[in-house]
Amino acid sequence: MAFHAQAIRRAGSAALDLACIAAGRFDGFWELKLAPWDTAAGWLIVEEAGGVVTDLAGGPYNIHSPHILATNGLIHAEMTRIFAATDPLCES
């Protein structure tokens, strides 16, 4: 992803990063190996704000998914494509 993005920032909290997606401060967010409590509230906030939340391969996200991809919706297909082409976690 570093080769395809203008910048990558990480605040250290998945919940905060997801809130930044919902608020329009970030365009996209992904993270690996998360627990349900890391994403539950942020997932809802992003979707209520009109964003998109899936697993890294673009499949439906659920509370027990260890990996998350969240965007404002405008770049979701492109991020999914990049992960599918470069990340072995997306091979399902």
| Conformation bin of residue 59: beta by default, left when phi > 0, alpha when psi is -120 to 50 | beta
pLDDT number for residue 92 = 47
Domain 28-87: state its class.
alpha beta
pLDDT number for residue 85 = 83
Q: How far apart are CA 52 and CA 59, in angstroms?
A: 11
Give 10-residue mean pLDDT values along the chain (92 residues).
53 88 93 92 96 94 92 95 76 52
pLDDT number for residue 3 = 52
pLDDT number for residue 89 = 61
pTM, two decimal places? 0.83
pLDDT number for residue 41 = 94
Give percent helix, percent strand, percent coil of the chain, each to the nearest 5.
40, 15, 45
pLDDT number for residue 8 = 55
pLDDT number for residue 10 = 64
What one-letter code names the amino acid at 85?
A
CB 53 within 8 A of CB 70: yes
pLDDT number for residue 86 = 75
Q: Spell out the domain ranges in the chain.
A: 28-87
